[in-house]
Amino acid sequence: MNLVNTIVERVHPYIPFTAWNTLWRNLDKRGQTILDLGCGGGAPMRFINRHKHFYCVGLDIYRPWLSDAKSHERHSDYVMCDIRKLPIEEKSFDIVLCLEALEHLTKEEGRQLLKDMETIARRQVIITTPVGKFPQHPALNDNPYEEHTSSWRPVEFGLYGYKVRGYGLPLFGGAHGLLARLPEPLRSVRRVIWLLASTISYFVPAVAGWMVCIKQIEHEDNRG
């Protein structure tokens, strides 16, 4: 079972309809710079840089996560700050990523962040976040910023001009989902089940557990 788990772990990002695969396929390859908001340990950037090297800046408020990302050299540079108070100039990055961070803000703060990201990005904004309410304990990973304080729906991002794709199903995912309750000998197959479920939720994000939201930015500098 450990072998199965290892294989699935390695090929997971390359399988269609999964989060990282969707992220990579939709990433604007014309871009050269990325701002990674709420970067955490930086695992997605490790995957992205396997395919194309970007100048990328990781930004997070939680020092241990930044230290972990820096120790693995997953970004080109780092900034420790609150994403609600971004010290970033307009149109200073080609792509802005906000992966599993928006839900940690209030709704009002989140809407403001959407505006800020579209101001900073020259080409594209990509967001991943749970679909609907997804409670998370504030003390998870001993990180006081981990609590989920807002929920979002695909229709909202559609109204904001985002293309939305889903992944995972809420019935299966999370710390209290069905897959987490499987007996230990069977837990290695839960990733396989997760991947199969993602083929459904990809096309119907309203039933998904999480979503990838992509928006192309049309600044004057990009036209022509």
Residue 46 vs residue 196, higher pLDDT: 46
Flag whether 222 is in a domain.
no
At 183 the pLDDT is 65
At 131 the pLDDT is 94
Confidence of residue 181 (pLDDT cuts 50, 70, 90): low
What integer best gives the mean pLDDT of the chain?
86
Distance separating alpha carbons of residues 126 and 95, to the nearest angstrom: 8
Residues 100-137, buried b or exposed e (16+ Cβ, 10 A)? bbbbbbeeebbeebbebbbbbbbbbbbbbbbbeebeee
Flag whether 157 is in a domain.
yes
Average pLDDT over residues 91-104: 97
Contact (Cβ atoms closer than 8 angstroms) between residue 212 and residue 128: yes
At 224 the pLDDT is 43
Average pLDDT over residues 59-69: 93
Residue-number span of the structural domain to which 174 is assigned: 2-216
Average pLDDT over residues 136-165: 86
Residue 81 vs residue 135, higher pLDDT: 81
Q: What is the CATH number of the domain that holds 112?
A: 3.40.50.150
**What is the 8-class DSSP label of residue 143?**
-
Average pLDDT over residues 205-215: 95
Flag whether 28 is in a domain.
yes
Flag whether 223 is in a domain.
no
Flag whether 195 is in a domain.
yes
Q: pLDDT tens, 107-129?
A: 999 999 999 999 999 999 999 99
Overall domain count for the chain: 1
